[in-house]
Homo-oligomer: A and B are copies of this chain.
């Protein structure tokens, strides 16, 4: 066992008390970790939180929530270059939060998944 791990466990024993089976306790903790990581939508959820965890994207998402929009409409109201807007929109789309419906030259983006 690595030295670092040994130090960690020494701390843990003081925290949880001496009258607890340390190995069992650690196995319990590790199981919790595996349970969380293997939750069905774990990655998906991290992804949409990441997508919404940026001011411009949260704004774009909520604008589209109020009314479907094309890039050209967003371009008028946001202080960002068009490729930057397209980039953010794509991130929201990949996170399955919005979807783009193409109609001729224009693409109308609408809400696909409602998140607050």
- A residues near B (Cβ < 8 Å) are 5, 8-9, 11-12, 15, 26, 29-30, 32-33, 35-37, 39, 42, 45-47, 49-55, 58-59, 62-63, 66-67, 70, 72-73, 75-78, 106, 116
Contact = CB atoms under 8 A, between A and B. Distances in A.
A76 B12 contact: yes
Nearest to A7: B75
Classify the secondary structure of A's interface with B. helix
Copies in the complex: 2
A30 B77 contact: yes
- The 9 A-B residue pairs whose C-beta atoms are closest, nearest first, are A50-B53, A49-B53, A53-B53, A49-B52, A11-B72, A36-B62, A33-B77, A49-B49, A46-B58
